[in-house]
Each structure stands twice: as structure tokens, then as C-alpha cells.
Chains A and B, each alone.
Chain A
């Protein structure tokens, strides 16, 4: 079982947190802090597995994480999950994000955390791995996106326009400046089609 999925940046700011067990908000923040502390002090060139996070579950659990550019993707799992499987899942998640956001960067995650949640929901359900096939995930995510659009219909149009205008005023909107620095570098992998 996956106990929690955390995405935070190099400074420990949470970008997404998904807990599959209930904790109070305070404990959740504490877990995020602790996890960040554990993960961030580790060298880049040591393994991606970390045992003995004190807060979630205790000794049976381990943290499996990957570090991409400015973001840490951390999965807290128990002993029933395969380490490689989860490492692979992280890769699939990042690649899927990359496809869905077209060159994903941290700002995408900052502004569209709801979308990230929706994508994640197609991959992991209640702490269990649901789907690892990227094309299948993307198909389902897009189908739901389409549904959303068709529901918005005409009434959604003005809102979209306003939102577009709002975004235009923003110099720091994602993807216009300095993408190079912040974009997550997806390692060059064979595609999964």
C-alpha cells in the first residue's frame, strides 16, 4: 500500500500532498517537513530508498523518492510495495505530467494542483496502484477533460476569457520566461507506447 504521496520543492514547500491514511492537518505538515528534512539532506548519488520515517507507520514503511530539477516526488509505502515498481510509477507520473502539461515545470504544479490530483487519481486509488500505462492514463484524463469542457459550454466561455486576461497580466506565468531553469527534466527514456 502507498501511504502517502508528497511532492515538494527544494525548499520543502508542498506542491501536492495526498495521504491515504487520515492525519490531522498539523500532523500532515509535520510529516511533510520531516520527509523533506530526511530526503533533502541525502546526496544526489545515493539510492532512492529511505527507511524509517518516524511519522508514517514506522519501521515497516519506507520512502521512495526521486528528485527532478526543483521538485522531489516522494512516495511513502509499506513493505508490500515493490521498490522498483514505485520508482517506475514516479517516472510514469512525471512523464504523464509532462505530456498533460506539455513540458511540465514546477509552476504548472503550483497553479494546477487540482489537475495533478486528477491525473494521480487515475494512477493510484486509495493507496493502491491502479494503472501504470501512460497512454491509458492520458486517455482517461483527456476524456474527463473533454467532459468538463462540454459541461462548461457557452457559460464557461466568459470565465475562460477572464481567466485568460488575468493570466496575460502576469509576467511570471509559467512557460514564458526562463523555462530552462525550472522545467523538470525528464530523463531521456524510451517511450511507453
Chain B
């Protein structure tokens, strides 16, 4: 052995280590890729070797190559191997590699669960530390769920080094498995509020502060610019609480916009956003516009652009006093070449034009100019996002065409051949809105005797539209050809001098209301409508992939969510408008936006809106001088004037009222600035009875969203962290083990109410005076244990080695007891009770209150069992009385109690006792009783857990019991890591005379279609006062096919579907001379063969069970006279055959 190690390390010397690899790469600068690929080949060879040192070295090199961009996921399994090395050196290499390349998609990651758990509980703090560090990088929801409890335990580790890491990693665990937050919170809180966190935490804080200050000083010395940046950052924080104090530094901040450092400029921009007010908005935006002109580099300019729009549009245009100014700003922004944000400007234009009615006339004029000058914007469409604004311009001109000075000219501009170079979705809007304009022109000229103009317009459309009919874009083509035909028809009518304007206009009648972006979400779901229910059969997986909705429209479309409705086919739109109007008219709760339709633009409210007179020659000239400045001047003048007027008024007032408040000459307050226009900003439409809630403000992608949990609610049982056990639902404590007392885990976590129930049960027990005193005592002990439990409970482990040192320090706890913890934490109460039943056969004692049942009395050790059994009986009785299907949580009972229930729900006759325990082997010293218990397959392996009760029949002390089984190809005893294939397992307890105890052994099984027999031996030392002898006992473990079945409930419809599927093969069985009630028969099948009753009609019942590998087994049991016929179906015929044989055997015995 030693030689092997030395040899290995000598071999290893000639392998490349990391340094050699790095050196090699540096020496092969020209053909680096080639060199690395040979290195990877070498690494693959090294990974194939058995020597863990060689493997670790290879993995170490892979980690380096990963950094250089090479995919090393193929070695994931080897990384796991290295992680599980017992040497820290290699373990660390493994965990580092894992942390660099494992992620949620890595499939081997689930193999690591046990290894990590083991490392977490390692006595070496650095093993634990390395595992925690690694886990923090690749924790998955599964790992988080499985390990949450182990990590929680570490939060009270003795070493602060581990505590610190454990507390930090809990955050990651919460993110991945939010359910763990509530159960973990109390402890976390306690850790954070710990009044005496040890000096380390405190000094840590002091140290940190010190470091900060030093860092700051060093910064001041060498990084002046950092201070500037941080200053701006700090200001943005102050701004939130004390906006006034920051606003006074406006100039300083504006200066920062000139800084050469982009980070500082961006910070300053951020600050400006929070600083604007009605008063300074125009000024700030003006400064920003100057910077837009100066800015080099499109990224920064785009940033400026978005900021300007953000600043202006924030909180529903709160700070804008003059929308004409805003429109001019937007128009000016369109002159930016090469910006990505054309769509942003466009959506702002649409937003303002739709919502601010007073501005529409102005907006339409501006948009018309834009359309007229479209050639300036479309310089080269490919890289120019700005042409998006034409989309908005065309739509606004069309929709609000009644405001147009010269619709004919705009129509002409929209139908220029150059338009055909625009992106498809813009052309589509052009075509559609050309039709709207056409309608307006018609209306304008109808009634005039000289209908020349109308005729010319029709001709224009007929001439120009064919260009669009040829468009490659489907949308454009469709609309164009539709409208072309329409116009042709209208032209015919015109020639006959028929009045058509009314009807054409009707096509576009109605007003579009702005709809809030959240409106759709807010529509309350009508009662009884389940949106998640399938309307049709769900398509199969493969199909759904093919049927992924393809983008029907141009890709850019989703950006204009607001304006998308225009693209709905016009008739549909008209119809919808009609419907909507109708609905709104009929809905008394709907507040109409305006009493009259927008088209008939004579609302009295609009007329008297004061519109500032502007020299039209200036604003309409887009390429000319920036006009927004004019507004600024105007605005200032206006304010001056207003101020002056107000002063006058005040003077008057003062004159009137004498010395009523003098001081009012201070700076104008926000409220004093009246907007130039009495604009009514139409609020966005929301569905009726939409609930006002703020939850939709949350970012759905926020990773912390999942942690939005009410921490004060009491914990529900289902929320308890999963504790690793053989049977997840049950847990046994070590202290109880000592008493051979089995208590379901729930007792520990039971709520007070349940506890009381239990007490009641016990009180009933006390009737039996014989045991009264002992019971009381036990009860007390139990209660005490309840309190001190959680720590130990957490430490349960599947592997039987090295139980972690328990934190409980009860002096009474013996070593052997501790060792039991890992092995024996689970003991189902039913199994204990059932075991008693078996023994009752040998020493029966009739019980007065329950004649059919028997009470064992063979050893004093079984007292507790009696109690258990009694309890169970009582439960049964209660259930029967209530005729109430009480769902029991004990999985262990599932085989017994639940299935029994299945058969007895409707029956009055009590059932005979049944037991799953069978005698395994027996000699003069010891008796072994076993039950086969099944655990579902978590991964690829199927596991069978065998619980064996060892009972000492002799007067001597039995110790050093070793359990060994000769593995077969199919079934293997699971031995702790590192043990040889033939090593025996130590039974983790000793047996004083007359005492019995239970141990569990895990077997992995590959094929489950055949029953198995395994030979085994138990060796032990019999120690009496004078001598000790070594004895052995041979036994045979019989794994029946039944033991691979798990009681699984099945609904009758699912059952019917299963049978219809035709995947199952049938078989049948006839049993003659069965002389027992039908429900007993069913109960027996349920109990012994783990079936559940799906449906029962008279003397016919359907039953279902599932194997641990997922085979379905269905039975149809019929009885007539003394004959029972069973028709069975299963997708695995040999399994079915064997199960039927076993059923037959069960009934032949009775």
C-alpha cells in the first residue's frame, strides 16, 4: 500500500503541474491553441487514472484553462471525485474547480449533496469552510432545500470562522429556496441580535470602520476624482430626503456635465433627474440640449437624450408647464443623427399628442413639418433609429387631421416615393393615415360646388398607392391594396357626384383613449374563470416547441406598445370602437373622457384655452434655429409679467387690508408658477373595478422578490425544513432511542394543540393502573426531550459513519446511543407496534377492552410498544366512530394504517391485526425480526431499507454485533464510504439481557422485477459475568417484489386513463376457498402488498400501486362465494407475475 503511494507520487512528479502548464503556454505563444489541446489530451489521460493526486492535479490545471475560456464541463464528474477526496488539499482543488464551472444546469451537481453534507459536518473547520465557500458559488434550489438544515446548524458552530460563513451563505440559500426563510428567520435574527457576539464581530466592525477611514484618506491623497464621484453619489442620496439642500448646488452639478470623466457626467445626469422643478425644468433642459450638441460619442449622447426625456416626462409630466415647448424639444431632438432612441422620442410625441388635447393643433403642425422634411431624417435608414419619429408624426397627422392647415400638402408628403425606403412598420402607418387624411380632405371640400380638389386627391392616391401595393412588407401591402380599392370606388362615386365624405369619415370615427400600461394586468379575473386551465388537451412537448409563436410583425413593433392598436385592420378597429362606445354608454360607472367625439371638434372647453402667439415662421422651420429657446424667453417674460401682476394685485390688497403680511417678495415658490396652458392631461384609462395596488410596481425579475415573505406568521408544518432521513416524514431522537421509544418526528414539531391531543391519548392510557407511574415518568421525559430536540434532529445522516458530536450534553447519553443516532433516527411507530403483534403470537394475553386484539407481554422492554399499540388502536377506533378518512402523515403507517383504512372506511367489523414483520432468524441468544421498508428512488438507484429488530433472549450481554450480507449482482448493502465490498457493518448498539432494539440497513437494488434472496450473517460477542464467547447467526433476507411497491393513492379518472392507455399488460389470478369478508381481503392486499383502493363497488374493487421505479400496477378484485378473481395489469409483466404469486401466497397462508 505504502509502496503504491510512493510510486504514485513518483509518477506524479513527471506529470505537468499547474506551473508547468502555465510555463508551457507562455513558451508556445505562436501555437497556443494547439499546445493547450495537447495539454487537454494529457489531462484526460490523467483523469482516467485511479490516483487521486493525479486527478486533483489535472483538475487544478483545468481550472486554469477554464479561466482562459476553455469549456471544462466535460470533467464535471472528475471534479466531484476530487471534491470527495478525504484530503483537504485535493478537496479544496475540487471545490475551487466546482465553484468556477458548476451551475444550475450541471447535472452531476445532485451527486454532490451527500458529499457536501458530509463536509459541512466535518470535524475539520477548513473542510467545512471550503465546502461552504464552494456551495456559495454553485448552490441550486435543490441543494438549498436539502442542505438548508445543515447550514442552519452551522450558524451555531463553535468556530466563529464557520458561523460567519454559514450566516452569509444563508442569504444565498434564501434566494434559491425562499421557503427556508421563515423557519430559519428566528435563528438568523438571534444571530444578528446576539448581545454577545463574541469580541470578534465587534472588533470586526471597528476594524472595518478604521479601514474605511484610512481608505478615504488614501483616496483623498491620490484619487481626487473618486471624491468628486462619491460626492455626487452622496448628493443623490441626500436628494431623496432633503431635495432643497441639493437643489441649491444646481450650477455645480451642471458644471460636472463638462467633466472629462464619463462616470462623473453620468452621475451628474442622474442627480439632475431628481432636481428638476417646474421652475428650473426649462433651464436645465436647455443646458442639457447644449451638451447634446457638444457631446461626442453616441453612447453618452444617447444617455443625455434618454435623460432629457426622463426628466421631462417624470411623474406624468408633472414639471412641464408648457407643452409646446416640450414638443419643440422633441422635434429638436430628432435632429440627432444615429441615435438609438428614435422610438423613445416617438412614443413621447404620441403620448403628449394623445393626452394633452390642447396641444394637438400645435403638435399636428409640427408633425406635418417633420413629415415634409422627412428626407432630413431618413439620411440613411440603416443605422438611423431616428426615422421612428416619422411613425409618430404620420399617426398624429392622420388621427388629428382636422387640425391640419393644409391636409393636402401633408398627404402629398406622405405619399412621396422616398417613403418606400422606410422600415415596413412605418410605411404601414403612413398608408393607413394617408387614408385618414384622405377622409379629411374629402370632408373639407365636400359641399363646395367645385369638387376639383377632392377629385385631385383621389387621383393622387390612386397614382401613388400602387407603390405600396408592391411593398415586400405584408402589412403595407395589405393595407395599401385595401385602401387603393376603396379610393377607386370612391372616385367612381365622386364622378357620379355622390356625397361620400360622411361615410368615408365614419371609417375613422371615434377617439382613441390612452390606456395605462398596467391596465391589462388590472382587469379583474371574472369569477369562475381559471386562466391556467387548459382549454384543449395540452400539446405534447415536442409539438409545443415547433409551434412557438413566430414574430408576425416586424421585430421593432413591440417597442410601440401604445401605438400598436393602429395596426389592427381598420374595420375591426371601427367595430371595436363601436362596441366600446356602446359599452361605455351603457356603463353608468364609466366616466366619459369628453362628452362629444373628438372629430367634431367644437368642445367649448378648448376654445378659450389661451394659446401663446408665436411667430409661425420660426417654429415651423425644423432645420432652422432651435425654437425651444424662444419658449424659454417667453416663459421668463410671462413669469415676470405674472409676478408683476401679482404684485400689483397684492399691492391693491395691501392697500385694502393695510398691514397684513408684508413679506412676499422672496423667491417664487413652486405653486406660484401657473402653467402657460390650461392643459388637461388625460389620465390613462384603467379597467373598471381595477384594484389599486402597488404590487405591480415591483420588478418581476428582482431576485429578492421571492423573499417577500411574511416573517411573523407562525410556521406551518409543511414549511419545516426537510431533514434528511430514511423516511423523510419520521425522525427519531437519540435519547428516545435509548429507551427504544419511537416517537414520530411530528411530536417534536407539533404545535401546542397537537401536543395536547397527545396528552389526552396518554391520559387515557393511564387508566391502566399497572403502568401508570412509569407512563407519567416517561411522559415527563418525553416532554423534556421535546424541548431539547432540534439540534440532534438536524444531524441525522444516512451514512452510518462518524456521527457528528451531539450538542446536547446529557451525561446519561452513552456512546452507543449516540451511534444509534445516525442509524436509527427513524422508527415508525407502526412497525414497532406491528413487531409486538408478531411477538404476541408467542405470548398472547387477551385484552379486556379489545377482545380481538392481543397484547404482548413477553419482555419488559415492550412496555412502550404496548402504549404505542394502544394509541394506535384508539386512533383506529376514533376513526371508525367518526367515519372520517383521516389523513395520516406517518409514512410508516402508510403500509399499515392507511391501507387498512382504505379497506375499512365503510366497514363496521374490526380488522384482524396484521404485521409486516417476519421472523428473520433466531437462536438461543438472539432473535432477528425484520421488515422490508422501501424508499423511492431519488436518483438512479432504488433503495430498500430493511429494519431489523434485534432482541436479546439470553441472560448475557450482547455486544459487538456485526451485520453482513453477501451482495448479489442486483442487490448491494450500502456500506459507508471507504469500506470494502465485503466488510460488515457494526450494529450501533449493545443489548443488555432482555432488551430489544432496531437497526436499519440500506440496500441498493437495480432490477426490481424479480424477488431476491440475500444470505447474511450476524456475528456478536456474548458476554456474561464469567466468560465471553463469539457467536454467529445466519439468516436469509427475502426481498419480495411486493416490497418494491409503494402505496400510492390514485384517482379513479387517472386510473381509468391509465388502463385505457394500452401500455399495460394483463394477467389474472383466481383464489379458491377464501373465507373472509371482502373488506378484510382488500385490507390484506393493501397492507401486505402496498396497494390502495381506487374504487369499490359492492364486491368488486379496483386497486392501484406503484413500484419504486415507477411501474404502475393495477388490480381489479372481484369476489363471489368463496372465489376471488384478480385481474391485474402492469407495464412490467414479470413484476406483475411475481406480485400475483406473492398475493397468492399471502392468502394460501390463511
Q: Which residues of A contact B (CB under 8 A)?
A: 14, 16-18, 20, 22, 24-26, 28-29, 42-43, 45-52, 83-85, 87-88, 91-92, 110-114, 117-118, 121, 125-128, 130-133, 140, 143-144, 147-148, 151-152, 155-156, 158-159, 162-163, 166-167, 170, 172, 187, 189-190, 192
Contacts and interface: CB of A to CB of B under 8 A. Distances in A.
Q: Which of A16, A111, A167 has the most CB of B within 10 A?
A: A111
A111 B19 contact: yes
Given A14-B67, A25-B71, A110-B22, A84 B216 contact: yes
B211 interface: yes
8 contacts: A16-B67, A24-B71, A87-B215, A111-B22, A127-B136, A155-B6, A156-B9, A162-B13
A25 B263 contact: no
A85 B211 CA distance: 9
B96 A114 contact: yes
A159 B215 contact: no
B104 A22 contact: yes
B93 interface: yes
Given A83-B233, A125-B169, A159-B13, 9 more contacts: A45-B224, A47-B226, A52-B266, A126-B139, A144-B92, A144-B126, A151-B88, A158-B13, A166-B19
B1055 interface: no
B233 A158 contact: no
B75 to A, nearest CB: 13
Nearest to B102: A22
A192 B203 CA distance: 13
Contacts of A189: 214, 218
B916 interface: no
B76 interface: no
A121 B226 contact: no
Given A25-B69, A84-B219, A47 B225 contact: yes
Interface of B: 5-6, 9-10, 12-14, 17-20, 22-23, 26, 60, 63-64, 66-71, 87-89, 92-93, 96, 100, 103-105, 124, 126, 129-130, 132-133, 135-137, 139, 161, 164-165, 168-169, 171-172, 204, 207-208, 210-212, 214-216, 218-219, 222-226, 228-230, 233, 260-264, 266-267
A2 B564 CA distance: 40
B375 to A, nearest CB: 33
In the A-B complex, the 10 residue pairs with the smallest Cβ-Cβ separation, listed nearest first, are: A126-B136, A22-B103, A47-B225, A88-B215, A46-B261, A29-B69, A162-B13, A47-B229, A155-B9, A47-B226
A31 to B, nearest CB: 11
A50 B93 contact: no
A16 B328 CA distance: 52
B211 A151 contact: no
B126 A143 contact: yes
Interface of B is mostly: helix
Given A85-B212, A151-B89, A162-B13, A130 B263 contact: no
Nearest to B261: A46
Contact of B226 (A20, A49, A118, A166): A49
Contact of A151 (B87, B104, B228): B87
Nearest to A28: B69
A126 B67 contact: no
B168 A25 contact: no
Contacts of B161: 140
Contacts of A117: 63, 96
B216 A152 contact: no
Contacts of B6: 155
A147 B126 contact: yes
A65 to B, nearest CB: 11
B13 A130 contact: no
A113 B215 contact: no
Given A14-B68, A130-B164, A118 B215 contact: no
B83 to A, nearest CB: 15
Contacts of B207: 132-133, 192
A130 B93 contact: no
Q: Which of A24, A130, A156 has the most CB of B within 10 A?
A: A130
A155 B88 contact: no
Given A52-B266, A88-B215, A166-B20, A46 B260 contact: yes
A152 B89 contact: yes
B229 A49 contact: yes
B96 A26 contact: no
A121 B5 CA distance: 30
B669 to A, nearest CB: 34
Nearest to B206: A133
A84 B996 CA distance: 65
A88 B96 contact: no
Given A49-B263, A87-B219, A187-B218, A125 B225 contact: no
Given A29-B69, A130-B164, A155-B5, A45 B225 contact: yes
A66 to B, nearest CB: 9
A147 B88 contact: yes
Contact of B164 (A110, A118, A131, A147): A131
Given A126-B137, A130-B168, A51 B266 contact: yes
A76 B194 CA distance: 32
Nearest to A133: B207
Contacts of A152: 89
Contacts of A125: 132-133, 136, 165, 168-169
Contact of B168 (A47, A88, A126): A126
Contacts of B219: 84, 87
